[in-house]
């Protein structure tokens, strides 16, 4: 059922979240441009602490599913060189959407159509009935690996990284009518479904350095994933925007 949860998200939320899809990306780009413009001193940095710990707000957006989720993001890293960091990444976010069968494989759509037709013929629902299934989804992301930094600006660090890891999605349907409730019960008897799926993509951002031990970081990741692949016909792209404070500590390892 969770599959239905993930899949049905499709059509309805697409239009609803289109503005959210563009606005965070524009804000992130603007922040990066301002940060670079404000760094009037082009001399490279000379102080780099050994360890980084980041914490901030995140917005997770899957336009194909019409799903937008907000939550918490944290990272921890070890600076191996001035340009090379090894770290781990975790985020948790949640949001609600209305699911529809549009993204399901053809065979499953046909099965659901046959069930709905029976209800129509029995006079339980009108011929114009459209199946919708509100659902709440919690997504956790787990990732780790390298990050590559550019420190030629005294007050700004730019960075890029491969984004490879896994999502854990937990979906809980909240049917709004008896037909949706019956279908939900048939697909997800427990009323709750969890799925793990891998993702891959790329990420990057910038950090405005306030002091050797703290900075303001803004970043974005774009990854491809395919959760609930027993229900969803195709995978899709997910964007994660994040902003918060990055703390630096340990000895100076600049070389």
Q: Phi and psi (nearest 5°) for 15?
A: -65, -35
Where is pLDDT greater, at 112 or 52?
A: 52
What is the β-pairing status of strands 193-211 and 236-252? unpaired
| Percentage of residues of the chain with pLDDT beyond 70 | 83
CA 43 to chain centre: 35
Residue 74 reports pLDDT greater than 60: yes
Q: Phi and psi (nearest 5°) for 48?
A: -145, 110
Q: Phi and psi (nearest 5°) for 254?
A: -60, 135
- Give the chain's mean pLDDT: 85
Q: Phi and psi (nearest 5°) for 175?
A: -60, 145
Residue 233's pLDDT band (cuts 50, 70, 90): confident
CB 165 within 8 A of CB 198: yes
Where is pLDDT greater, at 172 or 99?
A: 172
Residue 255's pLDDT band (cuts 50, 70, 90): low
Q: Phi and psi (nearest 5°) for 211?
A: -160, 165
- Per-residue model confidence (pLDDT) at position 198: 97
Give the mean model confidence (pLDDT) for residues 97-108: 85
Domains of the chain: 2-252 (2.40.160.20)
Residue 90 reports pLDDT greater than 70: yes
- Per-residue model confidence (pLDDT) at position 33: 52
Give the mean model confidence (pLDDT) for residues 110-114: 90
CB 174 within 8 A of CB 1: no
Residue 20 reports pLDDT greater than 50: no
Query: Hey, what are 70's tokens?
Result: 């907000």
pLDDT (tens digit per residue) in 28-52: 555 555 555 554 445 678 888 999 9
Classified as helix, coil or strand, 215 is: strand
Give the mean model confidence (pLDDT) for residues 142-153: 95
Calpha distance 254→45 (Å, rounded): 9
């Amino acid at each position: 059922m969770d599959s239905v949860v993930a899949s049905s998200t499709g059509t309805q939320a697409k239009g609803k979240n289109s503005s959210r899809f563009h606005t965070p990306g524009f804000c992130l780009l603007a922040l990066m441009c301002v940060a670079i413009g404000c760094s009037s001193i082009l001399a490279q940095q000379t102080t780099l602490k050994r360890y980084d710990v980041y914490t901030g707000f995140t917005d997770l957006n899957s336009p194909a599913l019409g799903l937008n989720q907000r939550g918490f993001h944290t990272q921890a890293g070890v600076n191996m060189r001035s340009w090379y960091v090894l770290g781990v990444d975790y985020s948790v976010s949640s949001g609600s959407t209305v699911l529809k069968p549009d993204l399901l494989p053809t065979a499953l759509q046909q099965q659901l159509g046959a069930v709905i037709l029976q209800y129509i013929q029995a006079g339980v629902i009108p011929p114009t009935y459209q199946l919708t299934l509100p659902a709440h989804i919690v997504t956790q992301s787990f990732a780790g690996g390298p990050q590559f930094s550019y420190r030629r600006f005294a007050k700004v660090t730019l960075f890029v990284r491969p984004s490879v890891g896994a999502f854990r999605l937990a979906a809980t349907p909240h049917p709004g009518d008896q037909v949706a409730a019956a279908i939900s019960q048939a697909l997800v008897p427990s009323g709750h479904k969890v799925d793990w799926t891998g993702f891959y993509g790329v990420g990057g951002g910038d950090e405005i350095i306030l002091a050797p031990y703290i900075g303001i970081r803004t970043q974005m990741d774009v990854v491809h994933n395919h959760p609930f692949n027993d229900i969803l016909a195709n995978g899709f792209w997910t964007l994660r925007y994040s902003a918060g404070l990055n703390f630096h500590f340990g000895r100076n390892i600049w070389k």
